Structure 1
């Protein structure tokens, strides 16, 4: 009991094993250090149980949330840009419809050109003009995004057909600059080109209307200039309403630009155009994620800009919450560890007080607690009580018994001194030699038996060279040949370079002994083969015999018993050798046995060639 209590106090105080009451005096002298150690150990255990799950949960939440938000933002942005792109496709569709009438239909085209080039109008021309105006009035009045439509063919009067005024003339119209811009910008056979401008509508204070003018030239001459032009003035406010619904993230905005990067339509929080990059439709700019989608045919670009802060706002909130919870958990853990430390220290002080009281009171045992509330009171009630009542009697008795056992062991060792047996064998050998005056079989047997005994005593190391082990086995085989004569045949197949390998001492002789003894129980003749090979840094030595072999069920039982170290009977040599190999190399499965009933047995030992 004293040893148990000493180990308990040593584990608490961190001192080496020694005098029990020296440990108690150490506790008294190092109360502050012990309290700090208690606190540190308790805090470490509590933190492992509280902070690690919290940290893992917070990290996983941050990772999942960040990934989900990023995917959600990308999908939402892509969807909004697709909606804007589809919304703007109505413009080229309407222009294509007008082009079918005023460019591809020769009757309408020739008729309108004739009207624009005539100096005065006939009744039939006025009726035709009324019909042609209805062609452009229908889309202009039915589509909420169209402000007005112009149809122009080159004519000396500067006339054009408009959905607002019917026939108009450039020099007398409020809107005069559109044709000049079309001539200046529309060089080349481009399908569409765009201009954002203020269209004059009246002379009042609100005399301008902001429009996106989309030009579709046709009938190009050999010089590349157009002779016909369809103009559609589109209201950006129509698309503006859609963009106002496209800002689900704080600080994000959408806009659309023409081919020159001039913004045509933008959301309310639009701060300016983002410089485009050539590395794709999605890139990072000024701590924001930018998605760009091309609008077919119009050569516009739909752009969404989402600040990184909006993307990481929720993960950042989770990080702050996780850190706050970790800090709170740390504070609570420290408070709980302090409470446990004080409680444990009071309980340890109670144990020390009981020991001191028992030591001072002689044979009188101090009063023990009647009720058990924790492990410390259990120690006081059971372990310490027994220890204090005996007053070291059991320890003294154990020491006395240990000394007696040591003396008895030495006496037995002296009685079984192997050197005495070796010297006696040498004396018998010479006495036998003197009787016959020449070497005889008895002398040879005694000589080989002496060699076997000397080999077992010669090297204290468990690892020997295979060469020495084979020499010992040969001596044993020759000793058995003296008994069995020509009935015993031995075959040696020793691979190159294997004799310098190291093996466990006296590991092969028990296997050869098993083969000879078991083989001659049922056979008149026996062949034993010893084979060695070095493969991949592992020496394999196999003992093969052509004895009676082992039945399938018995072989399975032997293999299971080897795995469980429970083999007994005739095969105890196998069990001992297998156990020695496992203890020496630190791994099992180094002895393998194969056999077939009536055909013989092969036992292989594996020796890893590592430094011993």
Structure 2
């Protein structure tokens, strides 16, 4: 820009000396190639400050968010799997507790075997049975996740002890599928075996119950050959409910797998089963969790050796990295938007610079053409060279166009004066028209009449409304205006309106808001004459501290409590009402003139009793000079 302005000054100096080399054309250096160079230069200067912070911030946001989300999800999964692990440990502890009683205690073992094998029950056996039933009832009834517990010893009667049915026979029980597995479990060496079963309630096949059954065979003194069995039926719904509470991410799911990798319990939104690595025990971290990726999912597993379970959590990576992907898309979109706006701004800057250059050249070439209006001189200064050029141009053109500017100002002033005179014609036209009507009416009757008096009073009302722009007037002027209005209404409704004036002469100089009382009198007459033929209005003025209090009271129909509350609500809102426009207008004008007033003592207050009349109280603050 400095080089351009220097060249312009040189060109202007040569032209003043009589050179015709440039004529009416722009300098040769102002061409499309230079414009492209300017555009690229502006674009680079704009993009570098925009792109570098945006790319740095976007990259750091994506990296930090990705790291934070992965760690947060892993920590959340670890906490939830640890909670499930604690629950499973409690279940295995319950099985171990039963095993200590029914497998390791010879007294209990022999007593229960005798009860199951005997044909009759002695008193001692009944007491022992009652005690043993309580032993298995405690975990079954106190733990919400345990559905029932069975204790079985091989016996010729086919009996077993159940927490639900007590001492019963297998052939008479509703649940017998567990006994069908007993033959397979007799030679098993595993400490605990788990399977999922379906049992029929009360023998009806259409009312089945899904159970997660844990078997613990025991030999009670015969190693290698199991002759008894502890069966604990766990409700899978308890785990499924826990899974539901853990579903913080929409597509994450949990399941519990047995030693063969088959799912035992799954969450409601469970997807495909994930094969666990055979060497997962070597892959365990310090917290006992195995973490690996399978396909497009992050898998976290925890092994339970006692129950031979694997607690598995699967989180799809598209759900895990949805926020980082969104940040990537937003960063790309912001880069594109920045590129677009930077290009537009660079193009606008380039055009603005060349428009300034062209404007300066036009000013220089039109300087000798005295019949042309004064061109606009750029007012914005970006550097010292522009200030020098602007100063030279202003000094060169000031003398030439000073007379034109003065004549234009004079013409504008005359135009404003003409408009002011025209604006004063409308009120005078109305006054003259009313006076013409007044004399025409007087000529028709050859004497003053009611029409003449009403026209004269109406003319006075109009003159009072538009003769001055002051918002505050003396009380005597406002009272005179109200009296003129009352005279007009008395002419319309003779012997129906009685107005009592209660005011001291010393209050006539107090300042009140212009046309603030006439709307109140108009409301009293309008609504009062609809219900009464003898309307009485009292206007009372009193000086109360720094305020002039004006009270307008009538004996009209009054206002109901509901309507009065609605009016007060309308005053506090900005909605223009369909009725009581005068009250609303007066309230708003008072608020604009004096402020909203105190909450305990507002500037306009309405008291009314339905059927007895209405009282409107106005306060006009009197400011002493």
Which residue of structure 2 lines up, in the alignment, with residue 151 of structure 1?
151
Which residue of structure 2 lines up, in the alignment, with residue 98 of structure 1?
98
CA distance in 2, matches of 1:324, 1:165: 69
CA distance in 2, matches of 1:303, 1:31: 71
CA distance in 2, matches of 1:205, 1:273: 29
Summarize the alignment of residues 18-33 of structure 1 with structure 2, pairs less than 5 Å apart.
Answer: 28=28, 31-33=31-33
Per-residue CA distance 1:523-545 (angstroms, 9 max, x = gap) = xxxxxxxxxxxxxxxxxxxxxxx
Which residue of structure 1 lines up, in the alignment, with residue 327 of structure 2?
318
SS at match of 2:85: helix
Which residue of structure 1 lines up, in the alignment, with residue 160 of structure 2?
160
Structure 2 CA distance for partners of 1:37 and 1:166, relative to 1, 3 Å:
same
Per-residue CA distance 1:458-499 (angstroms, 9 max, x = gap) = xxxxxxxxxxxxxxxxxxxxxxxxxxxxxxxxxxxxxxxxxx
Counterpart check, 1:117 vs 2:117 = yes
Q: Is the 8 A contact 1:196 1:212 kept in 2?
A: yes
Counterpart check, 1:331 vs 2:331 = no
SS at match of 2:231: strand
Which residue of structure 2 lines up, in the alignment, with residue 374 of structure 1?
382
Of 73-82 and 316-325, the range deviating more from structure 2: 316-325
Which residue of structure 1 lines up, in the alignment, with residue 313 of structure 2?
304
Structure 2 CA distance for partners of 1:240 and 1:120, relative to 1, 3 Å:
same
CA distance in 1, matches of 2:256, 2:328: 36
Which residue of structure 1 lines up, in the alignment, with residue 568 of structure 2?
none
How far did 1:353 drift? 7.2
Summarize the alignment of residues 477-492 of structure 1 with structure 2, pairs less than 5 Å apart.
Answer: none
Structure 2 CA distance for partners of 1:160 and 1:54, relative to 1, 3 Å:
same
CA distance in 1, matches of 2:186, 2:7: 98
Which residue of structure 2 lines up, in the alignment, with residue 607 of structure 1?
none
Structure 2 CA distance for partners of 1:200 and 1:300, relative to 1, 3 Å:
same
CA distance in 2, matches of 1:269, 1:186: 37
CA distance in 1, matches of 2:322, 2:130: 61
Of 204-213 and 302-311, the range deviating more from structure 2: 204-213
Structure 2 CA distance for partners of 1:8 and 1:89, relative to 1, 3 Å:
farther
CA distance in 2, matches of 1:230, 1:190: 13
Q: Is the 8 A contact 1:368 1:381 kept in 2?
A: no
Per-residue CA distance 1:529-583 (angstroms, 9 max, x = gap) = xxxxxxxxxxxxxxxxxxxxxxxxxxxxxxxxxxxxxxxxxxxxxxxxxxxxxxx
Q: Is the 8 A contact 2:177 2:199 kept in 1?
A: no
Summarize the alignment of residues 554-569 of structure 1 with structure 2, pairs less than 5 Å apart.
Answer: none
Q: Is the 8 A contact 1:153 1:228 kept in 2?
A: yes
SS at match of 2:227: strand
Which residue of structure 1 lines up, in the alignment, with residue 291 of structure 2?
282
CA distance in 2, matches of 1:64, 1:186: 56
| TM-score scaled by length of structure 1 | 0.54
CA distance in 2, matches of 1:225, 1:345: 102
> Please, what is the CA RMSD of the aligned residues?
3.5
CA distance in 2, matches of 1:303, 1:26: 78
Which residue of structure 1 lines up, in the alignment, with residue 259 of structure 2?
259
Structure 2 CA distance for partners of 1:272 and 1:5, relative to 1, 3 Å:
closer
Per-residue CA distance 1:306-359 (angstroms, 9 max, x = gap) = 11111111112222222222222222211211111012223344677799999x
Summarize the alignment of residues 158-307 of structure 1 with structure 2, pairs less than 5 Å apart.
Answer: 158-185=158-185, 187-204=187-204, 206-219=206-219, 224-277=224-277, 278=279, 280=283, 281-307=290-316
Structure 2 CA distance for partners of 1:354 and 1:109, relative to 1, 3 Å:
same
CA distance in 2, matches of 1:232, 1:216: 9
How far did 1:56 drift? 1.5
Unaligned runs of 5+ in 1: 10-20, 362-366, 386-612
Of 176-185 and 336-345, the range deviating more from structure 2: 176-185
Q: Is the 8 A contact 2:104 2:220 kept in 1?
A: no
Q: Is the 8 A contact 1:186 1:193 kept in 2?
A: no
Which residue of structure 1 lines up, in the alignment, with residue 571 of structure 2?
none
SS at match of 1:89: helix
Which residue of structure 1 lines up, in the alignment, with residue 510 of structure 2?
none
SS at match of 2:128: helix
SS at match of 2:76: helix
SS at match of 1:226: coil
CA distance in 2, matches of 1:243, 1:186: 34
Q: Is the 8 A contact 1:189 1:220 kept in 2?
A: no
SS at match of 2:246: coil
SS at match of 1:160: strand
Structure 2 CA distance for partners of 1:342 and 1:355, relative to 1, 3 Å:
same
How far did 1:381 drift? 5.7
Counterpart check, 1:342 vs 2:351 = yes
CA distance in 1, matches of 2:4, 2:43: 26
Unaligned runs of 5+ in 2: 10-20, 284-289, 370-374, 395-625
How far did 1:289 drift? 0.6
SS at match of 2:62: helix
Per-residue CA distance 1:351-382 (angstroms, 9 max, x = gap) = 77799999x99xxxxx9979772335236368
| TM-score scaled by length of structure 2 | 0.53
CA distance in 1, matches of 2:147, 2:6: 99
How far did 1:39 drift? 1.1
